[in-house]
Structure 1
Amino acid sequence: MNDYSTLELTLRDILRVISPLEEDWAKRFQFINELRAVVESVESLRGATVEPYGSFVSNLFTRWGDLDLSIELPNGSFISSAGKKLKQTLLGDLQKALRRRGGWYKLQFIANARVPILKFESNYLNISCDVSINSLNGQMKSKLLFWINEIDGRFRNMVLLVKEWAKTHGINDSKSGTLNSYCLSMLIIFHFQTCVPPLLPPLKEIYPGNIVDDLIGVRAVAERHIEEICAENINKFRSDKSRKINRSSLSELFISFLKKFADISSRASEKGICPYTGQWEQIDANMRWLPKTYALFVEDPFEQPVNTARTVSIRHLTRISEAFQGTHYALTSRNQSHSSLIPTLVRPHVSQSIWRTPNNASGYNASYSRPRPQMHRAVHSPSQVLHQFQNMRIDRRPSNVTTQRMVSNASNSQGQRAWRPRSDW
């Protein structure tokens, strides 16, 4: 067995352990319902809804991933807006309600952040949560990442593997000056865009504009407009008969990803990463990015010119580059074994789960059947995906919180309004 085959089997083994099970989905739905009950008890939040976003919505979370939730304030059918001061007040009211009710711990109110956030955990569900106010932008970005995975399923696998690897090397923590998970997803998108042949198009070919600028007016209309444009362009890309198909294995993509960004600390002084155009761009020649005040620039293609790597410090950029270099060297060294690769790629609690899993090299492909929600049956457009999300229902009774119904009606999906969590969850 050659080194790439060993790495491929190891990556598949890791995915089998870190990918969420049905119980992980159920616990998060239960968390949402329980928080909804608390929100409904707060007078200042009367009529507000609790809506998920982030990796849970994009289906890019691991078994131990955090949950991002947005409290959407009532504004009829129109997109709601609120100033920072109001958001701080409302999150403060929610914090008090959570303390009164009990069952929640590690409450931390980050009031002066760019986006005020209330962080806390559930006593018995063992899930960490970040709650913000009116995060429709985050919800829309999450859906875009979900749709991108519909173009090539290797994207999701890479995101899960890279996030676990980055946590292992201590470079997936924006609070400490390294990369946040959203930025890591952007790096993977960029990697897929710049492979030969590319796996993904420049994101301007999926949505030729700035998505956050178009989230105005009637919410259903704005979301449907974005959805229909993305669906048309994604279908156009996927059905292009002249497009060369990249058949790289997961291990080949992982190795090339590490190699591509191994010198990121030296390149970052002059060039920024632009998933919107799918190119490295000279910072001095890009008027959107001037004046350049960041150690690393990875532009948010859905909210230009926001920098998804804005928290990265110069000191930690070197550390990030060293993690890429060191892992690339370790994975490409000769005579690698399954046991020697694991500590380089995952944290101790993940490796322990891997060792407890029966190892059968001849049956890896057969055994790698990741439990996933029914919404991931084969679909052909973002409209179908969102229709499945829209019809997702959760029984609100605590005794039956694991009941989960996802209805798919592909033949009737076109023209459906964009997914929103239902008020009758």
Structure 2
Amino acid sequence: MAASPGTATFKQQSQVRHGKSHKKVGSQRGQEDCASSHAPKSGKRWKCAECNKAFVTEGGLGEHMVAKHGTQEPSRPCTAQDPDAKHGLEAASRSTTAQDPDAQSDHSNSLEPEADTGAGADPTVTDPGIMQRMLSSAAGLLKRTLSGDEESTAARKPRMFNCWLCGRSYVEERGLISHLKNRHEVTLEQYRDRLMDLQRCQEAPQAAQGTSPTELHVANGHRTAAASSALQPSFHHLRQREQIQAQMLRVIRKPFPKASLYFFGSIAQTVSTAHSDLDLCVIIGPGHDSLWEPDVDREERAAVILKVRNALRKGGLVPVFAITKSRIPLCKFEGNAHLPPCDIGLKHDGVRNSSFVRRYVEADRKLLQPLLRIVNRWTKSAGINNSSTGWFSSYALTLMVLHQLVQAGTIGYIPLDQFPRDVSAYPELPEHVEATEFCTEDYGRLGKALEEFFIFYGHHWDVRSMVVHLRPPGEQLTKVDKDWTKYAVAIEDPFELDFNPAHQVGVGRWKAASSEFRMAALRLRDPTKVATFFQFF
């Protein structure tokens, strides 16, 4: 398929490297500012403002605040990503007042009462050690605030307009519109459509305090559907995927004339977003099943994937590299400003698995399409959806959602014998159809299903003995039944019964993830905090 006029060719697009900006926020010249002094090491980003105990996830901090300090919601941590946290600003206010007594009248609401110098004085207020730490932690903020002249401060304008595709920010909206048009081929109409989706999400009806659970489910369903609508891929993204598939297939067919290229993953499940990576499976021709027989040496599979890599490089897809020592050998392209990241593999079981999930989505599109999309996006923003670092994969989380819905009777069970192993029974690129025309009942089902997912895996799931599976309702499966007691979290693949998609998740990872699930359920059930659940959006 030829590229349309005005669209850069596959080779030109792939040669543009996408450099990610990594900003260092921290101390300068040996001074510990608010951002660095409260950013714990070893991955513990969330720190309690009351007792300085650090946690890996926000959910762990939230449970600690509830149990130890009686706070229903954790204070925002003062980390390197959030230098303007609440307790940092309060320390800066106290320090400013200490240097400028006249400033006390302007900040009287945020300062503590003046310490009594008598016998009943609070020793922590006048303790020089504590005051020194307060001054040290606010040094960086005070340096930027007190030493800068007014003209330079007024000249710096905040970058309020952010690109949702690559993360670049702009001072003026016209800069963002120009960037979207030139770098991502997003038209002005598409940009305005996204603004309308954002507005619908913000204006979704909110249940007042004390309303019934049904009304709260409807309100949460409104927000979930609006967020899903804004995250869905545009016509430009769908068209780009077709072009990438056609151009890749053209270069792969040079060494393998009878090859075919199939999509799998979220794109084949029709729950992808505009930011989704491309997961592709190369079928090199008749007899492809022989590559995955037990007697086939891994080196033979690696030789095939190396030929695919060389063909892609000659076709202009650079940089692309081969991973030959993993369980599933694949070619990996990290993406750039014009092309999304791509994984191209040989094992075709993913095509069947994706078709299996897509059948469930097609059976109840108004429920499963937004639900799977939001769960996938929320878990990524929470940092628990990344199998390469020991967390869950998107496929494992999808199986968890379907297991809970099938066992609860919310959706019907689909037998596995309807899905043959031969990939020729499935389309190379399934048609993408979005759910539309939601009614009040649809919103209620969606909001309830979202809340029940987090409640089930945060409070009720017996992870020590049970296995997540997609078998008929009522059927129980334990780790002992499958001899999987070595796994902290056990999820049975519907077709590869001896494969656990959550084998990389350890006990510590599960505790952190379940803590995030419980915190999400707490926010969804509280009308005053439900907006914080959708802060990823």
- For 2:321 and 2:475, the matched residues in 1 are separated by 38
Superposed displacement of residue 279, structure 1: 5.0
Q: Which residue of 2 aligns with 1:273?
A: 468
Question: Does residue 1:259 correspond to 2:470, yes or no?
Answer: no
Which sections of structure 2, spanning at least 5 residues, go unmatched? 1-205, 209-215, 427-440
Aligned mate of 2:341, from 92, 108, 128: 128
Q: Is the 8 A contact 1:103 1:123 kept in 2?
A: no
Superposed displacement of residue 40, structure 1: 2.3
Q: Deviations over 1:37-83 (max 9, x none)?
A: 22123x3x34222222222122121111111111112226x855354
Superposed displacement of residue 34, structure 1: 1.6
Q: Quick one: structure 1 residues 277 and 130, their matched pair in 2 at CA, closer, same or farther if it must change by over 3 Å? A: same
Superposed displacement of residue 291, structure 1: 4.4
Report which structure shows greater RCO (CA 8 Å, sep ≥6).
1
Question: Does residue 1:342 correspond to 2:534, yes or no?
Answer: yes
- For 2:478 and 2:397, the matched residues in 1 are separated by 20
Q: Deviations over 1:299-330 (max 9, x none)?
A: 11222232121121222111111110111112
Q: Quick one: structure 1 residues 247 and 27, their matched pair in 2 at CA, closer, same or farther if it must change by over 3 Å? A: closer
Question: Does residue 1:139 correspond to 2:335, yes or no?
Answer: no
Q: Is the 8 A contact 2:221 2:444 kept in 1?
A: no
Q: Which residue of 2 aligns with 1:249?
A: 445
One-letter amino acid of the structure 2 residue matched with residue 55 of structure 1: S
Q: Deviations over 1:185-223 (max 9, x none)?
A: 11111121122x43222x4xx2359x6xx637xx75xx4
One-letter amino acid of the structure 2 residue matched with residue 90 of structure 1: V
Q: Which residue of 2 aligns with 1:239?
A: none
% identical aligned pairs: 19
Question: Does residue 1:189 correspond to 2:402, yes or no?
Answer: yes
One-letter amino acid of the structure 2 residue matched with residue 263 of structure 1: H
Q: Which residue of 2 aligns with 1:49?
A: 260
Superposed displacement of residue 6, structure 1: 3.8
Q: Is the 8 A contact 1:48 1:71 kept in 2?
A: yes
Aligned mate of 2:483, from 271, 275, 290: 290
SS of the aligned residue for 2:458 comes to: coil
| TM-score, normalisation: structure 2 | 0.52
Q: Quick one: structure 1 residues 141 and 320, their matched pair in 2 at CA, closer, same or farther if it must change by over 3 Å? A: same
Q: Quick one: structure 1 residues 160 and 246, their matched pair in 2 at CA, closer, same or farther if it must change by over 3 Å? A: closer
Superposed displacement of residue 168, structure 1: 0.8
Q: Deviations over 1:336-391 (max 9, x none)?
A: 464x4421xx2xxxx3xxxxxxxxxxxxxxxxxxxxxxxxxxxxxxxxxxxxxxxx
Superposed displacement of residue 14, structure 1: 0.8
Q: Is the 8 A contact 2:221 2:443 kept in 1?
A: no
Q: Which residue of 1 aligns with 2:47?
A: none
Superposed displacement of residue 120, structure 1: 0.4
Q: Is the 8 A contact 2:385 2:393 kept in 1?
A: yes
- For 2:501 and 2:412, the matched residues in 1 are separated by 19
Superposed displacement of residue 138, structure 1: 1.4
One-letter amino acid of the structure 1 residue matched with residue 227 of structure 2: I
| Bigger radius of gyration | 2
Question: Does residue 1:61 correspond to 2:254, yes or no?
Answer: no
Aligned mate of 1:86, from 290, 300, 303: 300
Superposed displacement of residue 283, structure 1: 2.4
> 135-144 or 81-90, which moves further after superposition?
81-90
Superposed displacement of residue 247, structure 1: 8.7
- For 2:480 and 2:509, the matched residues in 1 are separated by 26
Q: Which residue of 1 aligns with 2:520?
A: 327
Q: Quick one: structure 1 residues 113 and 337, their matched pair in 2 at CA, closer, same or farther if it must change by over 3 Å? A: closer
- For 1:29 and 1:279, the matched residues in 2 are separated by 41
Q: Is the 8 A contact 2:331 2:343 kept in 1?
A: yes
- For 1:299 and 1:144, the matched residues in 2 are separated by 14
Superposed displacement of residue 148, structure 1: 1.2
Q: Is the 8 A contact 1:115 1:132 kept in 2?
A: yes
SS of the aligned residue for 2:515 comes to: helix
Q: Which residue of 1 aligns with 2:90?
A: none
- For 1:8 and 1:176, the matched residues in 2 are separated by 32
Q: Which residue of 1 aligns with 2:253?
A: 40
Q: Deviations over 1:382-401 (max 9, x none)?
A: xxxxxxxxxxxxxxxxxxxx
Question: Does residue 1:164 correspond to 2:377, yes or no?
Answer: yes
Superposed displacement of residue 248, structure 1: 4.5
- For 1:257 and 1:324, the matched residues in 2 are separated by 8
Q: Deviations over 1:120-179 (max 9, x none)?
A: 04545331111111x332111111111111221111211101000100101111111111
Q: Which residue of 1 aligns with 2:203?
A: none
One-letter amino acid of the structure 1 residue matched with residue 291 of structure 2: S
Q: Quick one: structure 1 residues 30 and 117, their matched pair in 2 at CA, closer, same or farther if it must change by over 3 Å? A: same
Q: Quick one: structure 1 residues 307 and 320, their matched pair in 2 at CA, closer, same or farther if it must change by over 3 Å? A: same
Q: Is the 8 A contact 1:177 1:312 kept in 2?
A: yes
Question: Does residue 1:110 correspond to 2:306, yes or no?
Answer: no
SS of the aligned residue for 2:391 comes to: coil
- For 1:60 and 1:141, the matched residues in 2 are separated by 14
Q: Is the 8 A contact 1:7 1:341 kept in 2?
A: no
Aligned length: 305
Q: Is the 8 A contact 1:79 1:215 kept in 2?
A: no
Q: Quick one: structure 1 residues 285 and 341, their matched pair in 2 at CA, closer, same or farther if it must change by over 3 Å? A: closer
Aligned mate of 1:21, from 234, 247, 257: 234
Superposed displacement of residue 293, structure 1: 1.9
One-letter amino acid of the structure 2 residue matched with residue 72 of structure 1: I
Q: Is the 8 A contact 1:6 1:336 kept in 2?
A: no
Q: Is the 8 A contact 1:71 1:132 kept in 2?
A: yes
Q: Quick one: structure 1 residues 146 and 337, their matched pair in 2 at CA, closer, same or farther if it must change by over 3 Å? A: closer
